[in-house]
Amino acid sequence: MVGAFTRRTVLAGAAAATAAMSVGAVDSPASAQTRQDMILFVLLSGALTGIAEAKLAPGFRAVPSLTDIDLEKSEPGSDPVDIKQEYFNWVNKKRQATLRRLLQITKDSPKSSDRSQAIIDKVQATPDTKYLARSIVLMWYLGAWYDPDNLRALAELPNPPAKASSFEVISPKAYTQGWALRVAQAHPMGFSEMQFGYWARPPSPRTDFIGN
């Protein structure tokens, strides 16, 4: 989903985000419109990032029904950090109409082992959904916002403008929650949830971090 972005550019973006961590938190114009919206947003994010939903949103629980997931009985999670709400608010403010389309794609995807692939395939249908999906991936991994129009310019224009590589750090909280460093079993400058001396021990399996 990251397209033209490489491992090097992702890590470079994480480093650049460090310098911009003083950016204030975004004003939240609205919380998730419904409980179902948040459940769908977490399912969408899990499919796009490859990270287990319960890792992105601790406490998340999808309750299966006969044909799909029971959105009425499922739990969106209630972790104290609640970065999912901040990310939902941000995307909802920036690209509300396209976000609604992505949530509908998620709702319409079948309940099966290929749910994630079905979502990924469907978001490729239009440039609007494809590039917003990429923005959401980068948001979770870097805690920063890369505008979909800029991502499209980077992917499709032979000589994209310099501003196409620009980004916004979403909030100080988002700075501490980027998954790029977690997957690398590292931490951002000035913040760590890891026990002192962790670097002297063999790294834990990747599944301990992303759940997949």
Going through 94-207 in order, the beta strands assigned E by DSSP cover 144-145, 168-169
Beta-strand (E) ranges in 1-129?
A: 60-61, 75-76
Spell out the residues 6+ positions from residue 212 whose beta carbon is closer than 8 angstroms to its own. 50, 51, 52
d(Cα 1, Cα 141) in Å, to the nearest integer? 12
Exposure on the CB side of residue 157, measured as CA atoms within 13 A: 13
Q: What is the pLDDT of residues 134-172, one digit of tens each?
A: 999 999 999 999 999 999 999 999 999 999 999 999 999
Specify the 3-state DSSP secondary structure of 188: coil
**β strands within 18-167, DSSP E:** 60-61, 75-76, 144-145
In sequence order, which residues have a C-beta less than 8 Å from that of residue 126 and are 6 or more positions away?
none
Per-residue pLDDT tens over the stretch 83-108:
999 999 999 999 999 999 999 999 99
Range in 50-54, 192-196, 197-201 with the lowest mean pLDDT: 192-196
Give the tokens for residue 181: 């460093």
Contact 77, 58 (CB under 8 A): yes
* pLDDT at position 7: 45
Over residues 106-134, the pLDDT tens digits come to: 999 876 668 899 999 999 999 999 999 99
Pairwise CA distance, residues 47 & 41, whole Å: 10
Instruction: Judge residue 160's burial from the number of C-beta atoms within 10 Å of its C-beta, 0-12 exposed, 13-18 middle, 19 or more buried.
Output: middle
Q: Using pLDDT thresholds of 50, 70 and 90, give the confidence band for residue 190.
A: low
Residue 142's CB is within 10 A of a number of other CB atoms, namely: 28
